Structure 1
Amino acid sequence: MVSDTDVFKEIRPYRDDEVAGAIQRLIRDDEFIGAIAKYRFAALSRWGGAAIRSLIRLYLGWRWRKVNSIRQVQLEVATYMEKMIANTTSGVTYSGLEQLKPGVGYLFISNHRDIALDPAFVNWGLHSHGLDTVRIAIGDNLLRKPCATELMKLNKSFIVKRSARGPREMMKAFSELSAYLRHSIDDGHSIWIAQKEGRAKDGDDKTDPAILKMFYMEGKRQKIPFNDYIGSLNLVPVSISYEYDPGDLAKARELHAKATHGAYEKSEFEDIQSIVQGIVGQKGRVHVTFGQPVHGDFDNADELAAAIDREIHGNYHLFPSNLLAAGQTAQVDPAAVEVFERHMAQIPGELRERVLSMYARPVLNKGL
């Protein structure tokens, strides 16, 4: 088998022999160290910025001195993940993990609500059940800073070239991506990818058939029928449900701006700010359902997309926030009603209906 070292070097995650160098580049990166100082030691950094940054560098150099493999990076991430779950959630639960087999490469396609947390919660479930973590599809729009690229590629992320322009360039980028997915799965490495480009800001989880057509490009090149090739990818729909979305207000503002002004202009590093907000914001309970591997007779991407949507919608775990937003108040605990009302009271009046619609959509998608 051809090594991904040569063929997929531009898009693949780092390998073990690249970890130490990437860590050293991160520790030397002023923006990376400055971001840690800003978010972790905001008050102190205003008074002794240079000293704080020097201490952070010393600490990270000591903490990461023996980290020289992707596995060790993943274990380091797990320690932060455990703290984040303890501090910002009311518990994370899973279903469907028992049907997954060790050593098998799966193509997990999930609904997309949070840039960083969606694959992180998928990984946490796999890790907690003794399964290997996924390689994560991430758009190159998130990699505008060198430190972001280092962090993502250390965390098993591979690059989706969303910035590709022109038919020829786009075809080349998507063909390479399709081949990389095939290569990873054949090597027993699972993949996480969102069901469409960008988060479902309105709460409506829909699979973009274009993503599925990209999956098939390598199969088409090999002249394998669509249904046969899709069946070989071990495609598993995943439903990720947040009781409260830390980004609901920001999403509502964007939707409101588009509705009232016809457009919304992102700030330069708004995606990075969204990542931070997702990590530090309160989420309530979180549930992740690994659905049944997709099997059936699908003639085209549209039919497959509809089947994936049925699985994701059907497996979406409804919380009181969803039911209350949809006006279904029966059997909702009064304490949950109070929490929901407090949350909605923080939403500006002109955005409230959009946020309610966001939480209600999964109920409607289930047909309830």
Structure 2
Amino acid sequence: MGEFDAIRPYSDAEVPAVLSRLLADDMFLDVLTQFRFPKLAKAFGWLLKPLIAHRLRKEFKDVTCVSTLQDKVELYVDHSIEQATDGVTYTGVEHLKNGSAYLLLANHRDIVMDPAFVNYAVYHAGLPTPRIAIGDNLLQKPFVSDLMRLNKSFIVHRSLTGRRERLAAYQLLSAYINHSIRNDCQSIWIAQAEGRAKDGDDRTDSAILKMFHMSRKDEPFADVIRSLNLTPVSISYEYDPCDQAKARELYIRSTTGTYEKAKGEDDQSIGLGITGYKGRVHVHFGTPITENLDDSKQLATEVDKHILTGYRLFPVHYLAYAMWNEREPELNVPEADLLFTGAELAVAKVEWQRRIELCPQEQRPYLIVQYANPVRNQYRIKAGLPL
């Protein structure tokens, strides 16, 4: 058994066997049937499942490696993006050079679509897609683990409770990330913090930056970070399909001090995040951080500046900020009508009002903060104020 076998993505040699296992997995076929035929699945699932399995076996019979699989899947990803967005744009991808590997450190709003949109940008730029960090809390079903590891995902063990076990897991993770970039020349995508930024306040967890250094502690921290080509990535959604659920969670946490996820809640978030309307989406790739920062907290502050300034603000963000009771007059944030055309703003006002009306009155402040925080953060950086 190899050093990284417990967490690494599947290799090309493993692809045919894993695909065969997936297409014989009853739970996986159930999910596909419900997704493809939501109105017929309950009554006719017994008939539809074998037909879907047969079609997929035929379509994927010649797939023998990860890159060919990604070429096939990309058609479905592009279709999903076309259906659920008003277009995806990206900037800075020219900073990524073929033949080099990067540690892509991104803000985190959506469980599946954050890395999917990064992959979309990189793939369409003709570059190899990164390996994707995914928490083991999302891999409770074997078919989900198979699916993700086929698509270049590797496992982050977050559910371990023992201190010694967690330390060993992060040591292994650190070694794998370093090995991937320096030995395999394969880029890595990882979120800047565990869990989504449900209040729209994107911040880098310095513990993650320390983790990158764990397996090379005999080397200076700044040298290790430079060797990994740490590149901040900003993913901006005009609208968050999960904003109502996030507002509810934030409200419950604020009023009770805790929040317990219902069974299947992560699955619902994944489904809504994939299929729900997002408006426009923008992905910005920064340049690798080369500053001589020997302290993880200083580095976290620098990464935050890159991610927050790279975030694209849409009309809805300014509309939310204007409603926010914690807005800061000294930031001199302009009114939305000074930045956007009348037609663009009119469309945004209708959609924003619809979302406000969908949200229960007591939860509305937690909906507003999700869209207002990116404005506050970006303008604080512009004003030279601390975050």
1:70-149 alignment, distance < 5 Å: 70-149=66-145
**Which of residues 191, 200, 203 is equivalent to 1:194?**
191
Query: What whole-Å deviation, never above 9, does each CA across 1:270-327 have from its counterpart, x for those lacking one?
Result: 2122111111000000000001211112121100000000000111100011111011
TM-superposed deviation, 1:335: 2.8
Q: Classify the secondary structure of the residue corresponding to 1:7.
A: coil
2:31 counterpart of 1:35:
yes
How far apart are the structure 2 equivalents of 1:87 and 1:299? 45
Q: Percent identity?
A: 49
How far apart are the structure 1 equivalents of 2:34 and 2:133? 28
TM-superposed deviation, 1:165: 2.2
**Which of residues 250, 256, 260 is equivalent to 1:265?**
260
The answer to which of 345-354 and 309-318 deviates more is 345-354
Partner of 2:249: 254
1:238-249 alignment, distance < 5 Å: 238-249=233-244
Partner of 1:183: 179
2:304 maps to amino acid: D
2:222 counterpart of 1:210:
no
How far apart are the structure 2 equivalents of 1:321 and 1:227? 38
How far apart are the structure 1 equivalents of 2:238 and 2:163? 40
Partner of 2:362: 350
1:6-21 alignment, distance < 5 Å: 6-21=2-17
TM-superposed deviation, 1:85: 1.4
How far apart are the structure 2 equivalents of 1:307 and 1:178? 21
Aligned residue pair count: 362
Partner of 2:336: 329
1:203 maps to amino acid: G
2:336 counterpart of 1:340:
no
How far apart are the structure 2 equivalents of 1:12 and 1:237? 23
TM-score, length basis structure 2: 0.91
TM-score, length basis structure 1: 0.96
Partner of 1:297: 292
**Which of residues 271, 275, 280 is equivalent to 1:280?**
275
- Structure 1 unaligned spans of 5+: none
TM-superposed deviation, 1:190: 0.3
Query: What whole-Å deviation, never above 9, does each CA across 1:127-164 have from its counterpart, x for those lacking one?
Result: 11111001000000011000010001001000001112
Instruction: Report the RMSD for the aligned CA atoms in angstroms.
Output: 1.2
Query: What whole-Å deviation, never above 9, does each CA across 1:13-47 have from its counterpart, x for those lacking one?
Result: 00011111111111111111111111221211222
Partner of 1:233: 228
- Structure 2 unaligned spans of 5+: 323-334, 381-387
